[in-house]
Structures are given as structure tokens and as C-alpha cells.
Structure 1
Amino acid sequence: MTTQSTTPDNKSIVQRALTALVATGDVDALAPLLSDGFLHHRPDATSSTKAEWLAAVRAALVPLAGMRVEIRQVLADGDHVVMHSLRRLPGGGPEIAVVDIWRLHDGLIAEAWEIIEPVAEAAAHLAWWESTDH
């Protein structure tokens, strides 16, 4: 029997997963919260499977150790949870704004989308349609 997760449950699952990952760097603690068919989507239209994404997260943990994460908003609507955060690498690295969108199914994270933008470049991106190649 499956049950439909409620919006507060989905928000809690995502918050628990990301808090554990950021606080401990324990990728293995994140794995059970992802469905076997989990897909991670990037803005360039590439996607990675659960195993591929976990391996990429694991590989990024060393260079990202000590990264400061400030969660600004976590919004949930049905099976989707959206998180907006600001992140800064240690040693004065660039501040980046990140929007993660998570889709949950049967209490597990089934899909994720991620958009990352360096805060210093945000103003230039406000006029992305203005090409210099006219």
C-alpha cells in the first residue's frame, strides 16, 4: 500500500536530506532518501542517475568542504519542494545563489532540478536577451 505524502512531509524530507548532507558531508545518509529511479537535471539539459549524482556529490565534497549554506526559502506544494539558498566557498570564494526543485514520490526524492548563478553576475543576467552580436 502506498500513501500520498503531504506537503509538510515532503518539505521535511528535503530539509532533513540537505541538512544532513551539509552538516556532516555524509552522502551515504542521503542515498536512502532518493528513489531508485532518481534523476538529477541540469540547465544544460543533461541528467544523471542516482548513482551518477551521488558520485558527483561525493567528489565535490572535498573541494566544497567548509562551504557556508544559508537557506533563504523552502516552499512546498504537493509533491514539489523548492529551496532557494545562498552558498559561499571557504576562504572568500564567490557567493552563489542556488534554486533546487525536488519532486517526491512515495516519501522519496524522485527528481531534482538545480539552477546555480554567481551572485556577482546576477545583474548581467537580468538582460540576457540583449545580445552584443546585433
Structure 2
Amino acid sequence: MDEQVAHIVGFDVHHPGATDDPCPRLFGRLWHQEAKMTVPTSREVLEGFLSTLQAHGARRAFEQYAVEDYVQHNPKAGRGREGAIAYLEEEAAKGGRATVKRIISDGAMVALHLHMEFTDGSPDLAIVDIWRVEEGKLAEHWDVAQEITKTSISEAF
């Protein structure tokens, strides 16, 4: 968790007794307070999102971990949170398993590298998802996917 400081300003009002005066005088004091808040790191946000996605599905994960004006750059998914939810629900219907290979974070950016295996006969995919995190929520997403072939001149995935 990252620590941030919030500045809170208030005014305490005191009205000394009831009166028929239409413009009674108000007394009070202005105050200022600093409060330390913990904000999850981009990695912690992504890990929470993935955990909720696995346990409760795309809709709950996006409602809990993504901003309302979420930006989706995947050309196969529709716009915003609703487009991402529909796309992930469609992909989940194919059946399969995602294995996280690594998570890399740098400030507000976090990347996920995973191996996706489908049970419907679709080819396995190596996927890299990249998110921008804003105030503890997923705000923007990009991804690339590569088919994992059965034969390769490089080492196996």
C-alpha cells in the first residue's frame, strides 16, 4: 500500500441560543486536519481484480475495481466497462484455464503475462494485459495475444 495525505477542512458552527432575529449571528471555528490514507498499489489493485474475477465473475470484478469511465483498447471488446464485461463473459463461456506467469508494475501501470488454455479446441494463447490504475481503480486497458503453436524453433512456452 502507498501512503497519501488527505487535507480535510471544516467549519464547526455554534448558535448561542434561540432568537427571533431573522439573521442570527453564527459563531464557529475553521479547522484543518491531515489524514494519512493508504492507497493500494497498482499491483494490489490488479491482484484484487483477478481474485474477484475468478471467484465472482467479470461484472462484480469490474464494478468493484474499475472506474465508471473505463477505457478499453481491445478491438474485439466493446466500449467501457460494459464492453469489457461482455467480452470476458463470452471468453469465459468457451471454458478453459488462465495461468498467471508474471505481474510487472511500475507506478500507475501494471502488466499481466498469462497463458490461456481453452477447452473448446481453440489454440492456447500467450497474453499480455496492461492497465493504467487511477486512484486505486483500473482506468485503462491494452492487450496483445499470440497463439502458442505446437511446434516452434524457439524454446517451449
Q: Same fold (TM over 0.5)?
A: yes
Aligned residues: 118
Task: Report what 2:91 is aligned to.
Answer: 60
Matches within 5 A, 1:28-67: 28-30=59-61, 31-42=63-74, 48-63=79-94, 65=95, 67=96
Q: Which runs of 5+ in 1 are unaligned?
A: 125-134
Within 1, Cα distance between the matches of 2:145 and 2:151?
Answer: 11
Larger radius of gyration: 2
For the residue of structure 2 that corresponds to 1:54, the secondary structure is helix
Within 2, Cα distance between the matches of 1:68 and 1:45?
Answer: 20
Give structure 1 regions of 4+ aligned residues with deviation exceeding 3 angstroms: 1-6, 44-47, 121-124
Quote the RMSD (CA, aligned, Å). 3.0
Within 2, Cα distance between the matches of 1:4 and 1:25?
Answer: 25
Q: Note the alpha carbon deviations across 1:39-69, whole angstroms, 9 max, x for none.
A: 1112x59862112221222233212x3x111
Matches within 5 A, 1:1-134: 5=39, 9-21=41-53, 23-24=54-55, 26-30=57-61, 31-42=63-74, 48-63=79-94, 65=95, 67-90=96-119, 93-120=122-149
- What is the Cα deviation at residue 29 of structure 1? 2.0
The structure whose residues are more often helix, as a share, is 1
Task: Report what 1:129 is aligned to.
Answer: none
Percent of matched pairs sharing the same residue: 18
Q: Which runs of 5+ in 2 are unaligned?
A: 1-5, 8-36
For the residue of structure 2 that corresponds to 1:94, the secondary structure is coil
- Does the CA-based 8 Å contact 1:101-1:114 persist in structure 2? yes
